Amino acid sequence: MRRALLLLAPALLLAAPVTTAVAATGIATPAKTPVAVGTGGGVASESVEATQAGISVLKNGGNAIDAAVATAATLGATEPSVAGPGGGGFMVIYLAKTKQLVTIDGREMCPARCTPELFVDPKTGAPLDFELARHSGISVGVPGMVAQWAKAVRLYGTKSFGSDLQPAIRVATDGFPVSVNFHQSEVSTLTDLQSFSSSRKLLLTPDGQPLPVGAHFVNPDLARTYQLLAQHGPGYLYTGPLAQAIARTVQSPPVTPDATITVLPGMMTTKDLSNYVARNRRPTHVTYRGLDVYGMAPPSSGGTTMGEALNILSGWPLGAEPRSQALFHYLESTRLAFADRNAYVGDPDYVPVPTQGLLDKQFAATRRCLVHGTALTSPVAPGSPYPPFAGCSTTNRKPTTPREGMQTNHLVTSDRWGNVVSYTNTIEQLFGSGITVPGYGFLLNNEMTDFDFAPPAPGGHDPNLPAPGKRPRSSMSPTIVLRGGTPWLALGSPGGSTIITTTLQTLINRVDFGMTMPQAIAAPRASQRNGAATDVEPAFAAQPYANVLTRTYGENLSVIGPPSFDPPVIGFVNALEFLGGGRVQAATEPARLGGGSAMVVNPNASGPGR
């Protein structure tokens, strides 16, 4: 079946503010709202249909875990460029009944035939070009998302996996209008989408062009896939007909005859798929200004890197400092934490990751003491996260600066019982590998390119090289913050390695600078990741403190761009804040990439939302 295209007047739609769109079925889609306050639980995500899916599950007796799965599955329909069953992710969950923090690692894994030279050109011995690696079968990891969803629902949900997929089936069937963001994503990856017959058929117009803004997009193939998963369970993807279809697609990507790109076949087998397990991992934990901050442990570097930066920052009274000085400290804390992340974090099932040392306050002290009145010169060397911790720590290990993708999605959910989910998931780059599984309506990830490409020089050590069954290091940072032992905040962001800095910056905006959560999300962003320059949004560069950061503190600020999205942005935060008395504030981006969608089960407008 092909999608139906109902073309509306694109120019008109581009000019008009987004209010209420009516799909071909006559079903009204509510407008996007960036903030909602009320009771009964809340949801914030990138798309209005996905947020609504979570809310409908909550209204029908599902809990926050059911709502998270429903929201994520619906994002697979509405945001195929950054979500869907072909990807993976990390979920941090607060369980109200037992007051426990648990996590599920649904990260993709490398097939059994992976080697450390996966991304090395056998002819030249040089690392492959990133784009060549990306739109190829070799970049595709065994998808973890569906196993993660099923595990989350089985262990912690109140409904069934099948019932949690129902809203997504409806959205994929009924469709929705193509947004500016959806259209721009297609424009920026057009060559890839044109190069695979299955992606072309699913995502482009009959003459192979991006879907115009306002076109009505439906995905009956995805609806059928979800229906089959609902009926047969996750085994349909890992051991059933869909496993065969995925392995076949990876080994022999459906390249169009007129494709101009080189596509390397991958080596995933059905055995790789049947071997996949979503894992429970102990969350990371640090205390910060009396709060308990929980995050995702390796193979994500989110929890350890944010945790180390928070430990470094806790030695300075950020809230009492002039804003420029506080921001200088913020930038230096992540410069140092990224040096350690790159040196030490990988899949803990394959390399010994010093998680405890990285999160030790005394280790942070050995890093903090390197910071004086001016910006350090990057790349700074990693420290030594092994006790005893003394003095100012650097090692002579060579710093590494890995490359990562720039898109994914983060969502948050809560329920009337007090459960909370903070969930980041992705297919890596925009539209992942660019390869749609023919007839199934979703794209395969390119997550294996999160591994480092080139083996280190002799005597060197790299925790993030490919290996059979290994999971690549991630930056995803789903975070839950407790105050006085109960949930206060849940937040996270997309954005490759900027995920870590965006989540951290939003947190200090709220905790140290006294902004409300909506203000903390909207504030201009800067990201220092042990690079020579600090990436900043244009709005950050326009602030008075930017000048002081440059002149007084020697920070080298670099305005991001040229934009594939206009204006260029760093991150896209979705967050919840618990206001007491069962009230929750759901908050999302008011403007970046067209804004997100925040809703609560029982809205009430009262209260400032602080």
The H-or-E segment that residue 75 falls in is helix 64-78
C-alpha to C-alpha distance for 81 and 189, rounded to whole angstroms? 10
What residues pair up with 263 in beta bridges, in sequence order?
none
In DSSP terms, which residues pair with 35 in a beta bridge?
587
Identify whether the C-beta of residue 453 lies closer than 8 Å to the C-beta of residue 126. no
Stretch that binds ligand GLU, among 233-241, 267-275, 349-357, 473-481 (CB under 6 A): 473-481
Closest separation in Å from C-beta 266 to ligand GLU? 17
DSSP string, 181-236: HHHHHHHHTHHHHHHBHHHHHHHB-TTS-BPPTTPEE--HHHHHHHHHHHHH-THH
Residue number, 295 or 495, with CB nearest to ligand GLU: 495
**Residue 240: CB minimum distance to ligand GLU, A:** 27
Our finding on whether 476 is near ligand GLU (CB under 6 A) is yes
Q: Which of 46, 66, 174, 428 binds ligand GLU (CB under 6 A)?
A: 428
Sequence-distant contacts of 520-523: CB under 8 A, at least 24 apart: 520/575, 521/34, 521/573, 521/575, 521/587, 521/588, 521/589, 521/590, 522/589, 522/590, 522/591
x/- map, 478-517, ligand GLU, by CB under 6 A: ----------------xxx--x------------------
Shortest Cβ 185–ligand GLU spacing (Å)? 12
Of residues 543 through 582, those in contact with ligand GLU by CB under 6 A are none
Stated length of the chain: 610
Q: Scan residues 288-347 and list those touching ligand GLU (CB under 6 A).
A: none
Nearest distance, CB of residue 571 and ligand GLU, angstroms: 9
CA neighbor of 282 nearest in space, from 264, 259, 303, 265: 303
CB nearer to ligand GLU: give 193 or 327.
193
Residues between 369 and 408 that touch ligand GLU (CB under 6 A): 404-408
- Three-state secondary structure call for residue 273: helix
Of the pair 219, 474, the CB lying nearest ligand GLU is at 474
| Sheet containing 557-559, strands listed edge to edge, beginning at the edge strand earlier in sequence | 526-527, 534-536, 557-559
Q: Is 292 helix (H, G, I), strand (E, B) or coil?
A: strand
In the complex, minimum distance from the CB of residue 82 to ligand GLU, in angstroms, rounded to a whole number? 8
Judged by CB, which is closer to ligand GLU: 354, or 405? 405
Taking Cα atoms as reference points, which of 259, 117, 288, 122 lies closest to residue 198?
Answer: 259
Query: What is the C-alpha to C-alpha distance for residues 567 and 481, in angstroms, rounded to an integer?
Result: 31
Of the candidates 263, 236, 243, the one whose C-alpha atom is nearest the C-alpha of residue 252 is: 263
**Interface segment toward ligand GLU; rule CB under 6 A; list 13-21, 246-254, 351-359, 470-478:** 470-478
Selected from 433, 475, 502, 509, the binder of ligand GLU by CB under 6 A is 475
* Catalytic residue IDs: 408
In the complex with ligand GLU, the residue whose CB is nearer, 216 or 529, is 529
Q: Of 393 and 425, which CB lies nearer to ligand GLU in the complex structure?
A: 425
Q: What span, in angstroms and rounded, lies between the C-alpha atoms of 341 and 353?
A: 10
Give whichever of 236 and 423 is closer to ligand GLU, judged by the CB atom. Answer: 423
Q: How far is the CB of 408 from ligand GLU (least distance, A)?
A: 3
Smallest separation (angstroms) from ligand GLU to the CB of 447: 6
**How many residues interact with ligand GLU (rule CB under 6 A)?**
16
- Of 147 and 499, nearer to ligand GLU (C-beta) is 499
Nearer of residues 304 and 393 to ligand GLU, judged by Cβ: 304
Range list of β-strands (E), 46-165? 88-95, 100-106
Q: Regarding beta strands 291-295 and 216-217, do their DSSP bridges make them parallel or antiparallel, or are they unpaired?
A: unpaired
Return the DSSP state at 448: G
CA 102, 418, 35, 581 dihedral sign is negative
Contact with ligand GLU (CB under 6 A) among 426, 433, 503, 505? 426
Q: What is the dihedral of CA 138, 142, 144, 145, to 10 degrees?
A: 70
CA 525 to chain centre: 17
Q: Hey, what amino acid is at 51?
A: T
The contact mask relative to ligand GLU for 253-282 (x = CB under 6 A, - = no) is ------------------------------
- Classify the C-alpha dihedral 301-304-310-315 as positive or negative: negative
State the residues that interact with ligand GLU by CB under 6 A: 404-408, 426, 428, 447, 450, 474-476, 494-496, 499
